[in-house]
Chains A and B, each alone.
Chain A
Amino acid sequence: MRATIPLFALLVLLAGAANAQFAFAPPAVDLTGEWAPRVYNTHMDIGDYTGMPINEEGRLRAQSWHPDQLDLPENLCRPHPIDHGLRVSVSQLRITNELDPETRLPVGLRLHVWWQEPEQVIYMDGRPHPSPNAPHKWSGFSTGRWERNTLVYRTTHLKEAYLSRTGVPKSPKAEVTTRMHRYGNLLTITFIIHDPAYLTQPYIRESSWILDPNQVIPTYPCEITPEGAIVPAGKVPSFLPGQNDVLRDFPTEYGIPFEAALGGAETMYPEYIKKMKTMKVAPRTTTEHYRRTQ
């Protein structure tokens, strides 16, 4: 009996240590709940690549993009890539705990966004990312950790997609590091997008949400129309190089030098304001241009 007591004490201490060190790090901050978006962002216009550190390859692909591509059957119900869907459209957000289906222990967080209903699971139980050859998805594969009170997670295995609603591309080599920070009832997410194929440097942008416990996110039914119903069957709308006839509408309407609207890292810094004064600006003859709002 006497030997049992120290043994039990040891077990209690070990159990306590295990409880403190179990694989899923207890949350520093509760991020779960219903979050209502405060969306005030741009890049809804064809030809608006402003503030994007894209390279020549990215620019060439963006210029070949045609808005009718969105009406192809395979694109009608396609969700945005998760890093994009969280920022644009109507991105009501729900964050819940993700539980292991067998043990019911927490393994991370699950994000659900209204428009096209993408879901993203952020694993925080120490599991590795899959092989580079594993399937790529709209929400990719994410693992996270706490940096003090900030949730930091890395997303890989994202499908080839886009950085804006108007065709600025993002390659399947891209990965996104996301910082999720709660300030009281305000949630700010900072996206750091790294794409060796189309960006010359990380592309950083932010969005915020307000806690809204009464928010009800409806379902998002989406129906695919038959091939040929909107776009003639077999046609893939696009612009050949140099033949995009709506590219200049955006800079013309807003009085922006055409070169500046084409983006690039140089255009993102204050010095570029002086440089723009030496550039030619087309007469502001256009007042309408293509705009995509979702």
Chain B
Amino acid sequence: MARRGILLVAAVALLLSVHAAGQGRGGAQNAPPATARAAAAFDMTGYWVSEVTEKWRYRMLVPDKGDYQMVPLNPEGRKVAAAWDPARDQASGEACRSYGAVGLLQVPGRLHITWQDDNTLRLDADSGTQTRLFRFGGSQPPNAEPSWQGHSAAMWGGGEPRDRRDGFGGPAQDPTGRLAVIPAQRKESDYLKVTTTRMRPGYLQKNGIPYSGNALLEEYFDLFSDPYTKNTWVALTQVVTDPQYLIEPLIMHAHFKKLPDASGWDPTPCRADEPR
């Protein structure tokens, strides 16, 4: 009798657990948000200013020609860097090379982030007067010509179910036998991932350190509030993969402080010989 009771309790507990799982993210009552805006892990909209705490002389000044000491540049990349001529870039309409998607957020300045529509996050930068569009929903690169900002596919990351089974070594299944996501496996998205391709060749730094048209830019945005000033920040990690000029992927960082309004917004054109 007691054994039957135990089995009954165990069966009910498992059913309740899996039933609850069915009501979660994939369940009918909690269908996933229809738009990226509704599913946003955090609100990045508003005005932001870059705060330069590292690589200061590479960002607040135009570094010297050939100064690539923190970039894993290959011989071909070094050759291109050695041929950098800002006057030629300015004269030939290539002044925006250092304001392309890879370099733009390293250039000190202000950002204005808005939702262009429910599935497109728009980032305007006053430095170089550039616009990046982060397109959600599995957007594919168009066949259009490459551009300075390229094509950016965006997703809210971190919500993939954690690698955990039912706690006893077996897979969790729903009553029909399908693999189920139990509550303990669920996670909430907490970062923005942006993957950018189809860029025009540009510069990683203002001093002509190149990236090619085949470069891949992966970016991770983390939003947080610091516990000391309560300011809101976005920390950005960028990974640039470009076998044409780099011996290994280059990782760069930047962070931005949220501003209450547009004060200080200072649109400037692309300038080949200025830091911003």
Contacts and interface: CB of A to CB of B under 8 A. Distances in A.
Interface of A: 1-2, 4-5, 8-9, 12-13, 16, 19-20, 26, 28-30, 38, 40-43, 50-52, 147-150, 154, 177, 179, 181, 183, 186, 188, 190, 192, 194, 201-208, 254-256, 260, 267-273, 276
Nearest to A206: B253
Contact of A50 (B57, B157, B193, B227): B57
Interface in B235-252: 235, 237, 239, 250-252
Contacts, number: 164
Contacts of B224: 147, 150, 179, 190
B60 A272 contact: yes
A270 B235 CA distance: 17
Contacts of B71: 40
A206 B235 contact: yes
A255 B41 CA distance: 43
Of B54, B222, B235, B276, most A-chain CB atoms within 10 Å: B54
Given A40-B251, A179-B222, A181-B191, A192 B227 contact: yes
A267 B56 CA distance: 9
Given A42-B55, A148-B187, A150-B190, 10 more contacts: A5-B1, A42-B56, A202-B226, A202-B229, A204-B51, A255-B61, A268-B52, A269-B49, A269-B51, A276-B60
A148 B6 contact: no
Interface in B56-81: 56-58, 60-61, 64, 70-71
A200 to B, nearest CB: 11
Given A181-B191, A181-B222, A186-B239, A148 B57 contact: no
Given A204-B255, A273-B108, A183 B193 contact: yes
A140 to B, nearest CB: 16
Contacts of B252: 40
A13 B13 contact: yes
Interface of B: 1-2, 5-6, 9-10, 13, 41, 49-58, 60-61, 64, 70-71, 108-110, 127, 157-158, 162-163, 167, 184, 187-191, 193, 220, 222, 224, 226-229, 233, 235, 237, 239, 250-253, 255, 264, 266, 274-276
Contacts of B1: 1-2, 5
B35 to A, nearest CB: 21
A255 B187 CA distance: 49
B228 A202 contact: yes
B234 to A, nearest CB: 11
A150 B222 contact: yes
Contacts of A201: 228-229
B13 A12 contact: yes
A188 B237 contact: yes
A29 B51 contact: no
Contacts of B222: 150, 179, 181, 188, 190
A149 B53 contact: no
